[in-house]
Amino acid sequence: MEEISIYSDESGIHGSERYQAIGAFSGGAEDLTELEKAIAEMQVKHGVSNVSYKNISDSYDVQNAMREIIKVCLGQCVSAQVRLDIIIWDMQDKRHKIIGRDDNENLKRMYYRLLAQIMYRWRVPRLISFYPDEKISINWSDDIQKFITTARKIVDTQFHGITLGGNRRENKIKFTETSEEVDDNDEPLVQAADLIAGLVRKSYEEGESFERWASSADGNQQSLGFEAQVEVSNAQRSRFELMKKLRTTAKSHSLGLRFRENQRLETNKYHQSKPLNVWKFEHQDGHDQAPVR
């Protein structure tokens, strides 16, 4: 595809969350506009103004709105030229558990990796419009070109078999005037990215509890060796209902999202043709440490 737009949001980066994530929808402008309208229609239908992860509750309208939005988002990934990429990282692994860690600079590096994946999957588009959430302490007006240029270099050096075609200088990425920060209160795509990234991130903290609850709800707990009664809080149940919807919808579309052996939601890294890509960033070697202040 010659031109793509990217809408992104972060999850868990505020406070002391162990697992943090970035989720991003990308695709052609027309396809993303269609998805945005579908999300907005669900919000109006159920009277829910914001479907970000932080707004999950046991409200009937909120639950129905979020379920339908998960369904329409994954459905659009299958039927249209739309991708959803999510990167997760562990703030307590060897890379991050260091003195003087600079979390803002670390977030930038995670954006580098996410953008590199997106550009690789789209085969390095010529034109990019980028719409990150405005509520983080990154100066996008200064960093956006560096982000995407660096991601381009990562693609060129780490991945093989990419044919740019024509003169290399002519394929240099151009930046549209529409590259700007957006407020997730006004942007349905950013809200949806935050919702799904948050659910995936939470699976790293509550995956085992979710599996027990889901098996109990489905009547399979005895065959799996679980206790017959699984107690969860109202807040957990609200999250688990949506995690279950995410998993079952992805399965119905053969998107490869499932709980791996470590009880965390991921996709198979070898299924690169799939429009849903969820992976945990792992440090490469002893020299790969998070940036320090």
pLDDT in tens, 220-268: 544 445 455 578 899 999 999 999 999 999 999 999 888 766 678 888 8
Question: What is the DSSP secondary structure assignment for residue 4, as one 8-state letter?
Answer: E
What is the full per-residue pLDDT of the chain (293 aa) written as tens digits? 678 888 999 998 877 788 999 999 999 989 999 999 999 999 999 999 999 999 999 999 999 999 999 999 999 999 888 999 999 998 888 787 778 777 788 888 888 888 888 888 887 666 778 887 766 667 766 666 666 666 666 555 443 332 222 332 333 333 343 445 555 567 899 999 999 999 999 999 998 899 889 888 764 544 445 455 578 899 999 999 999 999 999 999 999 888 766 678 888 876 667 899 998 888 766 566 776 78
Q: For residue 83, list its beta bridge partners.
A: 26
Q: Which residues contact 146 (CB under 8 A, 6 or more apart)?
A: none
Pairing mode, if any, of strands 19-27 and 82-90? antiparallel
Amino acid sitting at position 56: I
pTM of the model: 0.84
Q: Which residues contact 169 (CB under 8 A, 6 or more apart)?
A: none
Sheet with 174-175, strands from edge to edge, namely: 174-175, 127-131, 3-11, 19-27, 82-90, 276-280
Q: Which residues contact 134 (CB under 8 A, 6 or more apart)?
A: 140, 181, 182, 183
Q: How many Å apart are CA 293 and CA 274, to the nearest integer?
A: 38
Long-range CB contact pairs, 96-101, < 8 A, 24+: 96/290, 98/289, 98/290, 98/292, 99/292, 100/292, 100/293, 101/290, 101/291, 101/292, 101/293
Question: What is the DSSP secondary structure assignment for residue 173, as one 8-state letter?
Answer: P
Domains and CATH numbers, the chain: 3-204+253-280 (3.30.420.10)
Distances (CA, A) of 144 to 49, 91, 132, 181, 182: 29, 24, 10, 10, 14
Q: Which residues contact 232 (CB under 8 A, 6 or more apart)?
A: 209, 213, 240
